[in-house]
Amino acid sequence: MDKTRESDSRKLLGRLKAALAEDSAGQERLDRITTIISVSMGVEVCSIYLFRDADTLELCATEGLNPQAVHKTRMRIGEGLVGRVARTRRPINAADAPAAPGFRYMAETGEELFSAFLGVPIQRLGEPLGVLVVQSKQSRAFSDDEIYGMEVVAMVLAEMTELGAFIGEGAALAPLHRRAASFRGGIGQEGSAMGHVWLHEPRVVVSNPIADDPHEEMRKLDDAIETLRVSVDELLATAASADKEQTQVLEAYRMFANSRGWRRRIEEDIARGLSAAAAVEKQQTATRARMERVPDAYLRERLHDLDDLSNRLLRILTGQGRETGAEMPDDPILVASNIGPGELLEYGRRKLKAVVLEEGSVASHAAIVARAWAIPLIVHAGPITSEALNGDLVLVDGEHGIVHLRPEDAVVDSFRDKIAMEAAQQERFVSLRDKPAESPDGVRVRLMMNAGLMAELPSLESSGAEGVGLFRTELQFLTQSRVPRRGELAQMYSRVLDRAGDLQVTFRTLDVGSDKVLPYMKAQDEPNPALGWRAIRIALDKPGVMRMQVQAMIRAAAGRKLTVMFPFVAQLQEFREARQLLFREVERERRMGHILPTEIKVGAMLETPSLAFAPAQFYTEADFISIGGNDLKQFFFAADRENERVRRRYDTLNVSFLNLIEMIVRRCAEAGTPLSFCGEDAGRPVEAVVFAALGMRALSMRPASIGPVKHLIRRTNLASLRKVIDDARASGAQSVRPAVVEHLYRPNNGA
Ligand code: PEP
Ligand code: MG
């Protein structure tokens, strides 16, 4: 590295440090920073553009451009050179800017005078904050050292967490981490909750980005890397005998911890004046930016490892992180970028009020756990982890998929009213608990609950469910680091049956694959996992686990009834094979002298369109059928249930889908085979009454939905509703929803 540049950079950072330490108002400080940079770099212009919102940048300070343009000039991301830097998050170095592709002339700034342009992104750990620009009259390309120096300065700017304060007219607005913010996301689980933020992985704050003494910072880095290396070695030693994949990951860590390139880049940044922690964070920001660009999944995983390693190093250097000593609030709302089911379960059911994830998906494991706990869950909730601080007030509106962070008082007040109204409504549903779900025209519908964890079973009593229509057995597998043993499973299934007493429990055999990847299962590299090797397909190809699982079920149900169903059956033959497998195990248990269940019912989930059209024998051979609407709908409409963009595009009450449901109802009736519906739609009151009007006599749903669904069934004349549905279908409507809703909510007509 060029020594002169190195000391220039240190001098510049030294001046910035002094400016940051000054007790001046925000805007004044930002202005001063632009002056310092332009003087130090020998350029006429230095400007700072910051994000106003996710799409718009605003000129917030400038030395050299027209001062009148500050807080006036705005551009969209991708627009002009500045917008392009923001979008690509890479520097643009143009000797002749007006001739560069994408240049946009902004008359109000007076920038036509300047030829050379260098813009670098201001970002913090993958969170884009703005763009730092220098311009000069003289046409020249900036050197690599200058670009590098600007990146270091941008890093220091990014650490000024109050950057958000400079947006808008003057510096009147509240700083980024103090202002109110809302995030719209996908609904993983409905419900409303009010509480305080608890970050799953609290952000590490680098409070001192500029170092006084590079030698001292180098020493800190050496010590921290040594500590890191020892801890990785220790982890490796304890994991050595454990599973191979874990060891591989740790080996990769060790490789990075010893990687010269990674370390050299950090050292170079320290030499330029950054503190050790800021230099590590700068590398981490670069890694995250790369991670977003790399299409190769393997490489992305390795970058993810590197990111994780930087995180560990940062925690060592700052002494912060998980063990920050912060106290969990009484009403915690967990905020995380993503979380696995095991980690979520560690928090325990009673503790959390809601979960908000930046990533995740509606059908993710965490979503299944949150649903099991009946706490609201929002997924894809924007950049909330970088905005939220531990202890912030947060409102989760699981009905509309909105999270209000540090809300204004008026929002809090109306949210309180909403929660009170919901509570009052729940009270009304409680009074229905022991009443049957029977329509005024005498149709009785069985309402059951879905479950997957032992902890959910108390809901059987409180919700008034008439049994468990779907017990998702994979949760037990997802929350462990190894395949559960037969004895453990048998014990758990037995406890489930004990708890259910006389009520029926329908165990679904293991439904893994697609998004439900077991921690100890080798992830399949499949182009379309939802259409891939999953559920019954795995069970039939590699029957070991399913055999063990059904043995556990048979033992758990010794001397009582056993009800089992197979997931994701696409054709009759698969159902026959799975059933045979089960009865072979029954025979084996009998030969071994074990007590057998008194009755065994074997059914199938109907969640592929092909099964709806299966030979009539399927309908007669199955003891019962349960429609898995979540999957059936995604395959019927060819719309990925995990893709928020297309998930809601096709209405469940779409005429085509209802025609399919009606055909299944008819074929089951002809065969005399009981039918139920256990997808999420069964828990939505309007959908539920439509299914009932089409002839469905059993629905299985999350416990919290039983009250609202029962309430509507008890008020809806299903024969009249059927007529409304038929008329809407005859009219050529795409969905019967408008007609149904109009009918249901017309005075004296129910609801
Ligand atoms: C379904 O597909 O509707 C279903 C109930 O199963 P899961 O959501 O577990 O895939
Ligand atoms: Mg399914």
pLDDT grade, residue 169 (50/70/90)? very low
Average pLDDT over residues 46-73: 87
pLDDT for residue 151: 85
* Distance from Cα 631 to the centre of ligand 1, integer Å: 6
Of 293, 318, 343, which residue is a domain's last?
318
Q: What is the CATH number of the domain that holds 346?
A: 3.50.30.10
434 belongs to a structural domain: no
Q: What mean pLDDT comes out for the span 701-715?
A: 93
Q: Are 185 and 161 within one domain?
A: no
Domain enclosing residue 289, as ranges: 214-318
Q: CA-to-CA distance for 573 and 587, rounded, in angstroms?
A: 21
Atom of ligand 1 minimally distant from the CA of 450: 5
pLDDT grade, residue 433 (50/70/90)? very high
- Answer yes or no: is pLDDT of 171 > 50: no
Instruction: Give the integer Cα–Cα distance in Å for 638 and 650.
Output: 10
The CATH number given to whatever domain includes residue 700 is 3.20.20.60
Residue 199: strand, helix, or coil: strand
In 3D space, the residue among 81, 155, 67, 161 whose CA is nearest the CA of residue 109 turns out to be: 67
Mean pLDDT of 452-480: 87
pLDDT digits (tens, 9 = 90+) for 337-387: 887 666 777 787 668 999 999 887 765 667 777 877 888 999 989 888 878
Distance (Å) from CA 371 to ligand 1 centroid? 13
Supply the CATH number for residue 78's domain: 3.30.450.40
Same domain, residue pair 606 and 738: yes
Considering the domain architecture, whether residues 161 and 267 belong to the same structural domain is answered as no
Angle between helices 260-271 and 214-239 (to 10 degrees): 160
How many Cβ atoms are within 10 Å of 422's Cβ, its own excluded? 13
pLDDT at 246: 52
Q: List, in order, residues 6 or more apart from 383 with CB less than 8 Å away.
A: 127, 183, 358
Of the listed ligands, the closest to the CA of 642 is: 1
Spell out which residues line ligand 1, taking CB within 6 angstroms. Answer: 470, 472, 511, 607, 628-631, 678-679
Mean pLDDT of 505-528: 80
Highest mean pLDDT among 54-63, 74-83, 374-383, 496-505 belongs to 496-505
Q: Which atom of ligand 1 is nearest to the CA of 630?
A: 3
Which bound ligand lies closest to the C-alpha atom of 679?
Answer: 1
Structural domains counted in the chain: 4
What is this structure's pTM? 0.65
Residue 11 has what pLDDT? Answer: 79
pLDDT value, residue 31: 85
Q: Using one digit for the tens of pLDDT, what is the confidence trace for 180-234?
A: 889 998 888 888 999 999 988 766 767 778 888 889 999 999 998 888 888 777 7
- pLDDT at position 339 is 79
What pLDDT does 560 receive? 97
Instruction: Give Cα separations from 16 to 33, 128, 184, 248, 274 (angstroms).
Output: 6, 21, 37, 43, 12
Instruction: Name the residue with the closest Cα to ligand 1, atom 3.
Output: 628
- Copy the structure tokens of residue 432: 């229905």
The predicted structure's pLDDT at residue 520: 66
pLDDT at 175 over 50: no
Asked whether the predicted pLDDT for residue 311 surpasses 80, the reply is: no
Reported in sequence order, the residue ranges of 190-329 that DSSP labels E, i.e. its strands, are 192-199
- Given this model, what pLDDT does residue 158 score? 78
- Decide if 313 is inside a domain: yes
- Domain shared by 259 and 122, yes or no: no
Q: Give yes or no: residues 69 and 155 share one domain.
A: yes
In this structure, is residue 207 part of a structural domain? no
User: Nearest C-alpha to atom 9 of ligand 1 is from which residue?
Assistant: 472
For residue 630, name the pLDDT band (cuts at 50, 70, 90). very high
Q: What are the angstrom distances between the C-alpha of 678 and each of 307, 604, 746?
A: 40, 12, 29
Confidence (pLDDT) at 6:
63
**What's the 679 CA to ligand 1 centre distance in angstroms?**
6
Q: How far is the CA of 628 from the centre of ligand 2 (A)?
A: 5
